[in-house]
Structure 1
Amino acid sequence: MRVLSVLGRCSQLPAFYKFTIVGVFALILISKSARDKALVSSPVATLQTGPVDFRERWDKLRRPKNNGLADGIPLRVMFIGASMTLGEHSTGERGYRKQIRDWLVEQGNEVNYVGQNRFGDFLDNDVQAFGAQPIKPTLDRCKEIVPQTQPNLILINAGSSDCFQQNHWGPAFILQKMRDLVDYLFEASPRATIIMSTIITSPWDNVEDCVKSANAQIRQVATDLIREGKPVVLAEMHYDQGLPNRVEKKHIGKDNMHPIDAGYFLMGDIFIESIQDVEEKGWLQAPVNNGIPFDGEAERHAEEAKSEEQIQEKPDEQAKGEEEKSEVKPNARRRRNI
């Protein structure tokens, strides 16, 4: 009865008010219909099928800083290690280096990777790592490149090859060899901040025993250096320290040595946390201005452009040389005739 009473009263209103009331009800119905359609077309959860492409995850990292790390100084980065540092057996052989570079650039810094080797399916892929390389040869090779490049951020993941080659190397003297390596890096590149890291787990029991021994020695080196006031932090990679999101046996590939993409991504994330740590401590310093470009991708583009230019110039130079020869021969004959 109340509804009929209300309708009766509404029928007595002027035409202007009637149209206004009808319009309001129409808008309410339209808004409700649109909202219902949005809920149907945009479910809360989306079922993902198939393998995860970690290349997509590399583009969805932490929110960037507008002014860059350490007020946007250029970062000349050197990765030191062996095949795991190279990223062998990962998608595109990029490991965690591409992931870290993308994140650094998103923070607002110019980045140039430096090293003697070039490895991985991305542009600025310079690295100071070689397959199956233990710590001692790593130091020997660093002496050939660090004084020239002088990186201001160094990330070390070395020692796994010592454990995989126990007949020749093994865990003995890793403490001294790692200390020698880091001491030399500070000597050759005084503006460097160094991130050391422990070794990830191994599914082989004999190798895992070596890994745990090596990690204990690496931790001791890092502790000693930190106590001495050196700009060093330790990126803990082994799950046995009770930290979350570490590489476990399920993250190791079919070769029982190298991580799958998910494992490499975890390692990269741990390194990123350590980079944030040294940035918060205020340790990052601008690199020495020694002529090395600040942007590694721009440097590579310039190299490629120069190489293409040289290739294009070669036919022209050859044709020009043949023309000069043809001009010299008649002149020589005239001289002899004269």
Structure 2
Amino acid sequence: MMFFRLPILIVTTVVVASETPLRIMPLGASVTYGVGSSTGNSYRKDLRDMLAQDGHQVDFVGRRKNGNFSDNRVEATSGFVIAQIAAAAREATPIFLPNIVLVDAGTNNCNGGGTVPDAGKNVTAMITDILASSPGCTVVLATLLENKMAEQDACRTDVNRQYRDLVAAFEREKAKVVLVDMRSEQGPTTQDLYDTRHPNDVGYRKMAVVWKQGIDEALRRGLVSRPIEV
């Protein structure tokens, strides 16, 4: 009996870092700021570490600081609703000229339950303003996290439907907008919450994973331009 040695093919995944520096503005409210995080870091430090590990040059920008790491700038204020976040973006975006903006908006609009039928329209206007204020910018929009309060979660689910629709509309126009789903298998669940709506440290790390997936997608699709010098 003859035996033949078959060649073994080993497949490895190589992460190739983009040469494009990432000037990222985390935009939102209390979750982006870091409420529920033991360090105040929110998802931001974990995300930065993941991107840096892949070889990316990262700079977080914003008018506030929070967290126990050096690159802790953020554009977020606890309690802000969509209109207030949009106003903050109008002021901050032209200052920092980010080439990536991470948008997490709408959670506080749902604090009373009910519905927010104009969430999609208002976030569309906010994203349009961001894209105009920082030429070449890419916006990564997150769906809203799970919530332990049934009425609030029903509201968030409807807002998420609006967000999927608006991102689909941007994609049809070839705009540089990417959606990340915080309710995917990789995202936080209600078991990863500090209270009824803010993540704990485990939840924030899961958010970082989902955000990174969105940034990786934007890079793969060639949506990320070099930041404008400021």
Q: Does TM, normalized by the shorter one, top 0.5? A: yes
Indicate whether 1:284 and 2:229 are aligned. Answer: no
Letter in 2 for 1:179: T
In the alignment, what sits opposite 1:273?
213
Structure 2 CA distance for partners of 1:245 and 1:145, relative to 1, 3 Å? closer
In the alignment, what sits opposite 2:17?
68
Indicate whether 1:156 and 2:96 are aligned. Answer: no
> What is the RMSD of the two structures over their aligned residues, measured on CA atoms?
1.7
Contact 1:196 1:232 in 2 (8 A): yes
Match of 1:98 among 45, 49, 59: 45
Q: Which has the higher helix share?
A: 1
Contact 1:64 1:107 in 2 (8 A): no
Letter in 2 for 1:203: K
DSSP 3-state at the match of 1:128:
strand
The answer for unaligned runs of 5 or more in structure 1 is 1-62, 291-338
Shift of 1:244: 1.9
Letter in 2 for 1:244: E
Shift of 1:166: 5.1
Task: Find the aligned partners of 1:141 and 1:120 in 2 and give their Cα distance.
Answer: 20
Shift of 1:73: 1.7
Query: Could you give the per-residue CA deviations for residues 239-259 of structure 1, whole angstroms, max 9, x where no partner exists?
Result: xxxx42332221122x21211
Task: Find the aligned partners of 2:138 and 2:149 in 1 and give their Cα distance.
Answer: 33
Moved over 6 A (4+): none
Indicate whether 1:78 and 2:25 are aligned. Answer: yes
Indicate whether 1:113 and 2:60 are aligned. Answer: yes
In the TM superposition, 1:250-329 aligns within 5 A as 250-253=191-194, 255-290=195-230
Indicate whether 1:179 and 2:124 are aligned. Answer: yes
Contact 1:64 1:106 in 2 (8 A): no
Task: Find the aligned partners of 1:221 and 1:177 in 2 and give their Cα distance.
Answer: 10
Task: Find the aligned partners of 1:284 and 1:131 in 2 and give their Cα distance.
Answer: 29
In the alignment, what sits opposite 1:335?
none
Contact 2:145 2:197 in 1 (8 A): no
Contact 2:81 2:107 in 1 (8 A): yes
Task: Find the aligned partners of 1:256 and 1:286 in 2 and give their Cα distance.
Answer: 39
Indicate whether 1:194 and 2:134 are aligned. Answer: no
Contact 1:64 1:108 in 2 (8 A): no
Contact 1:199 1:237 in 2 (8 A): yes
Indicate whether 1:208 and 2:153 are aligned. Answer: yes
In the alignment, what sits opposite 1:122?
69
Shift of 1:68: 2.4
Query: Could you give the per-residue CA deviations for residues 235-290 of structure 1, whole angstroms, max 9, x where no partner exists?
Result: 0112xxxx42332221122x212111111111110111111111111111110012
In the alignment, what sits opposite 2:5?
none
In the alignment, what sits opposite 2:9?
none
TM-score normalized with structure 1 length: 0.62
Larger radius of gyration: 1
Structure 2 CA distance for partners of 1:172 and 1:130, relative to 1, 3 Å? same
Task: Find the aligned partners of 2:209 and 2:80 in 1 and give their Cα distance.
Answer: 24
Task: Find the aligned partners of 2:83 and 2:110 in 1 and give their Cα distance.
Answer: 13
- Looking at both structures, which has the greater relative contact order when contacts are Cα pairs under 8 Å and sequence separation is at least 6? 2
Contact 1:235 1:270 in 2 (8 A): yes
Contact 1:98 1:122 in 2 (8 A): yes
Give the paired residue count.
218
TM-score normalized with structure 2 length: 0.89
Task: Find the aligned partners of 2:198 and 2:39 in 1 and give their Cα distance.
Answer: 14
User: Identity of aligned pairs, percent?
Assistant: 27
DSSP 3-state at the match of 1:94:
coil
Contact 1:225 1:232 in 2 (8 A): yes
Shift of 1:64: 8.1
Letter in 2 for 1:260: N
Task: Find the aligned partners of 1:115 and 1:264 in 2 and give their Cα distance.
Answer: 19
